[in-house]
Amino acid sequence: MHILAIISGEYGSRHVDNIRKHGPATWEITVWQAPSLFPLIIDYPEEYIPQDLPQVDLILSFAEHRGVAELLPDLAQVTGAQAVIAAIDHEAWLPRGLARQLRGWLDKIGVACATPKPLCSLTERDFGVTRRQRIAYQSAQISEFAAYFGQPSLIIKVDEKSRTIQSVQVERDAVCGCARYVAEKLVGVSVDEAGEKAGLLHHHYPCLASMGKDSDFDDTLMHVSGNVLKDNVEAQVRPFRKIQYLSPGERSE
């Protein structure tokens, strides 16, 4: 699969570095550094789009400016892309209204589009847009990408005797690499502390999502992202936890 990754700063650069390091060797990635300034209204998109971009299968937009989203339909036509993933880790970079428009624009020209909010809500079938809403999609290109990067999925093996984490396999990493970092640090941790430890490690990485409160979640996207990973860990260690029951009026053993 040939991928065009659009970046405009450190946020996108870190994503691309992780994809190149841990993605399939068969993926070919071209990076386009998008302009940092755009007019309020882009009348002539072709003035901002390089004419020497290669033909690609998938476009990844990690840009930190809403103006890039307005270029994506033209970019898809220029490159022949069949699908687009436009990350939303900050509302200012791709506001919810513009994200809806973008999905509609691309649908009209037969290009699949996923706008995961946050980026680590992307799976092989759907993506998150609010706390209770997910949107399904059908795209072989997006699904192939999401098999490796998106909503973190770890496979945890527990030593039942010591009740500690024996090994952690990364089934699907976060695009930024956070899940892989957390997985490495969880080995040897008690199952009673694993969920909380995963949340702390997520913040230490650090997560690249916004710390501003988002009205779609009534929380920060960084916290939403952290909870996605934390929930994945807690679901797997829960059967190994020891639950202490207290009876009122009696001394616990």
C-alpha–C-alpha distance, residues 180 and 225, integer Å? 14
**141-to-4, 48, 99, 137 alpha-carbon distances in Å:** 12, 25, 19, 11
Whether 87 is covered by a domain: the verdict is: yes
Whether 161 is covered by a domain: the verdict is: yes
**Domains in the chain: how many in total?**
2
Point out the domain boundary residue: 146, 165, 181: 146
Answer yes or no: do 26 and 11 share one domain. Answer: yes
| CATH number of the structural domain spanning residue 69 | 3.40.50
C-alpha–C-alpha distance, residues 132 and 106, integer Å? 24
Answer yes or no: do 47 and 142 share one domain. Answer: yes
Tell me which residue range forms the domain holding 175: 153-240
| Sequential pLDDT tens for the chain (253 residues) | 999 999 998 999 999 999 999 999 999 999 999 887 665 666 666 777 888 899 999 999 999 888 899 899 999 999 999 999 999 999 989 999 999 999 999 999 999 999 999 999 999 999 999 999 999 999 999 999 999 999 999 999 999 999 999 999 999 999 999 999 999 999 999 999 999 999 999 988 878 889 899 899 999 999 999 999 999 999 999 999 876 555 565 555 5
Answer yes or no: do 206 and 109 share one domain. Answer: no
CB-CB contact of 43 with 67 (8 Å): no
Point out the domain boundary residue: 81, 115, 146: 146
Whether 253 is covered by a domain: the verdict is: no
DSSP state of 117: S
Point out the domain boundary residue: 124, 146, 168: 146
Whether 251 is covered by a domain: the verdict is: no
The tokens describing 133, both together, are 């809403």
pTM to 2 decimal places: 0.90
The tokens describing 198, both together, are 């995963």
The tokens describing 168, both together, are 């952690």
Whether 81 is covered by a domain: the verdict is: yes
Whether 247 is covered by a domain: the verdict is: no
C-alpha–C-alpha distance, residues 185 and 197, integer Å? 9
Answer yes or no: do 119 and 160 share one domain. Answer: no
